[in-house]
Amino acid sequence: MVTATVLFALMGVCVKMASQTASTGEVVFFRGGVGAVMMGLLAWRTGLSLRTAVPLLHVQRGASGVTALALWFYTLGTLPLSTAVTLNYMSSVWMAVFLVLQLAWRRWRGQDVPTIPLPLLGAVVVGFLGVTLVLRPTIERDLWLQGLVGLASGMLSAVAYFQVASLGRAGEPEVRVVFYFSLFGAVSGLLISGVEALYRGSTWSWPTDTTLLWLLGTGLFATLAQVCMTRAYARGNALVMASLQYLGIAHAFVLGVLLFDDPVHAVAVVGMALIVLAGIAATQASAPLKTRR
């Protein structure tokens, strides 16, 4: 999991560098294309069939996941690296929000549901308090829209995680799930690039050698990180792994300062710490509720 967090942080660096000359659609295309090729080769090497009995679930996961990815890549290109990464890591808090709303809805309909733990509600409140602190320097620079886009990417990532869980319950192996997600991303990246080209009144052009390296690095680091993260969750304690993944924020913070001279705001750092604590607390408090379901 530690290796996965480092790789995801390096992916963020590649996205930020590539975004200086490449469009969001191009970044999404290469992210998905490289991943699809790598997962396709892995499936071929291990003799795994890519035929699926639940194509609709893959489409739903791809739609939410790729939309979240595109929004996050846009945020990475416009906001400090650590800010963009932190907003995306709000997905754990968003998952807690969805769980609370689901329990409240079932209770309102008269169903027998467990009591919502106060620590879970507290984690949600602390998480959004952290968001306000993280976004304060961004809003002061008149980048509030980019901040909201980053927040939306975290929310859609939470939706995608629920859909990944549904695919797991349907018996879909991880390689097949990642392959179809990557394939969906590659196709979506082409479509987004086409729309962007029409909007600009230009045609899609092949990236320069330097940009191409950053784009390929995006796909390579992201795919390797997914493999590491999948193995970590398969072999380790889920709660420990979920807590360790927040190391990605620390990696992004250090890389952002060293490579991009990102400003260090004390208020934003406190906000990041609150989001990390809220995410860990939400994961631990919601675990018993998920088990009962």
Per-residue model confidence as pLDDT tens for the chain (293 residues): 899 999 999 999 999 999 988 888 899 999 999 999 999 999 999 999 999 999 999 999 999 989 999 999 999 988 889 899 998 888 888 888 888 888 888 888 888 777 778 888 898 899 889 888 888 877 667 778 888 999 999 899 888 888 887 888 888 888 898 899 999 999 999 998 888 878 776 666 678 889 999 999 999 999 998 888 877 876 777 667 777 888 899 999 999 999 999 888 888 899 999 998 988 888 888 776 655 54
| Domain extent listing, the chain | 2-292
| Predicted local confidence at residue 268, as pLDDT | 87
**Among all chains, which residue has been given the structure tokens 């004390």?**
266
Exposure string over 38-74, b if 16+ CB within 10 A, otherwise e: bbbeebeeeebeeebebeebbebbbbbbbbbbbbbbb
Instruction: Name residues whose C-beta falls within 8 Å of residue 157's C-beta, 6 or more positions apart in sequence.
Output: 65, 68, 72, 88, 91, 94
**Among all chains, which residue has been given the structure tokens 């990390």?**
276
Name the nearest CA neighbour of 181 among 15, 11, 31, 8: 31
| Predicted local confidence at residue 204, as pLDDT | 64
Q: How far apart are CA 59 and CA 180, in angstroms?
A: 8
Q: Is 27 buried (19+), middle (13-18) or exposed (0-12) by CB count in 10 A?
A: buried
Q: How far apart are CA 33 and CA 144, in angstroms?
A: 31
Instruction: Name residues whose C-beta falls within 8 Å of residue 291's C-beta, 6 or more positions apart in sequence.
Output: none
pTM metric for this prediction: 0.86
